[in-house]
Amino acid sequence: MKVTMKIRRFNPETETESRYQEYSIEAEPTDRVLDGLMHIKSYVDGSLAFRRSCGHGVCGSDAMIINGKECLACKTLFRDVAPGDEAVVTIEPLRHQPVQRDLMVDQSRFFQSYRSVMPFLFNDRPAEGGKERIQSQAEREVFDDETNCILCTACFSACPVLDVNPNYVGPAALVQASRFVNDSRDAGLDPRLSVLNDPNGVWSCDNHFDCTRVCPREIKVTKAINFLKRKISKQLETKA
Ligand code: SF4
Ligand code: FES
């Protein structure tokens, strides 16, 4: 099949505005959009910039907007986004993060949010038998969904709250917070409260569900955020 890849391009070092560039390529319906990008990069236009690493939906580095929806290019097949021969597939960089070049965004703001929720285990009690912190299978299953996050930032791009409040910590960081707060071994809700229990923390979330809709790992992002809201309210009631 013939596909036109319409790619939003921008080089902030030499341009003042982004522009779209179209590339017509031959592809199989079962080829991935990432294959198309790599073909262009290797054989048509070496100046095209995008990120990718694993090629198999694990590293999260090739999240981008394909036909208006956040996706991983390595998990998106042409047959699903290019209906029929000569279809146009529009590819744009993620939102809410400045473009470094073409489809690459500067993730500094996102990682600042990620670090702010302290995504690591808090527990200064001695481990059982001085060796390890035992966790049952059922206790581990409680936060199984959140451990699937690959930090692709698709949810950060799709969240409409970030359009109006760029200081919102964002859904991905809250998924990480939920992962640890749900962990039976963790005792770190209190130190995390200053970030989570804040107008820019969980309370910014208006339950739009766009994060859940785009997450390539099918994590129930909004559910995780609502869990945190309930947990924080309960914690504050206990302290009152
Ligand atoms: S929650 Fe889903 S969309 Fe958000 S960063 Fe993690 S994997 Fe990506
Ligand atoms: S290249 Fe790693 S997730 Fe797509």
| Chain segment 99-157, per-residue pLDDT in tens | 999 999 999 999 999 999 999 999 988 888 888 899 999 999 999 999 999 999 999 99
Residue that the structure tokens 């991905």 belong to: 172
What's the pLDDT tens digit per position in 84-106? 888 999 999 999 999 999 999 99
What's the pLDDT tens digit per position in 198-225? 999 999 999 999 999 999 999 999 999 9
Nearest to 116 by CA among 222, 224, 199, 192: 192
Which mutation among 152, 168, 205, 223 tests ligand 1's pocket best, with the greatest number of atoms within 8 A of CB?
Answer: 152
Distances (CA, A) of 151 to 61, 148, 154, 171, 194: 8, 9, 8, 10, 22
pLDDT at 79: 96
pLDDT at 227: 96
| Nearest atom in ligand 1 to 214's CA | 3
Task: Give the residue extent of every domain in the chain.
Answer: 2-104, 107-239
Ligand 2 centroid from CA 34, angstroms: 9
Rg, C-alpha atoms of the chain: 20
Class of domain 2-104: alpha beta
Pick the CATH number of 107-239 from 1.10.10.60, 3.30.470.10, 1.10.1060.10, 2.60.40.1120: 1.10.1060.10
Nearest to 190 by CA among 146, 236, 125: 236
Ligand 1 centroid from CA 127, angstroms: 32
Partnered with residue 26 across adjacent β-strands are: 2
pLDDT at 63: 98
Instruction: Confirm if 211 and 178 have CB atoms less than 8 A apart.
Output: no
Distances (CA, A) of 161 to 34, 61, 116, 128, 200: 29, 23, 18, 43, 10
What's the pLDDT tens digit per position in 2-25? 999 999 999 999 999 999 999 999
pLDDT at 164: 97
pLDDT at 85: 87
Pocket of ligand 2 (CB under 6 A): 52-55, 57-62, 72, 74
What's the pLDDT tens digit per position in 41-88? 999 999 999 999 999 999 999 999 999 999 999 999 999 999 888 899
Q: Is the pLDDT of residue 170 over 90?
A: yes
| Nearest atom in ligand 1 to 156's CA | 4
Q: Is the pLDDT of residue 26 over 90?
A: yes
Q: What mean pLDDT is predicted for residues 156-176?
A: 98
Ligand 2 centroid from CA 233, angstroms: 37
pLDDT at 84: 85
Q: Is the pLDDT of residue 29 over 90?
A: yes
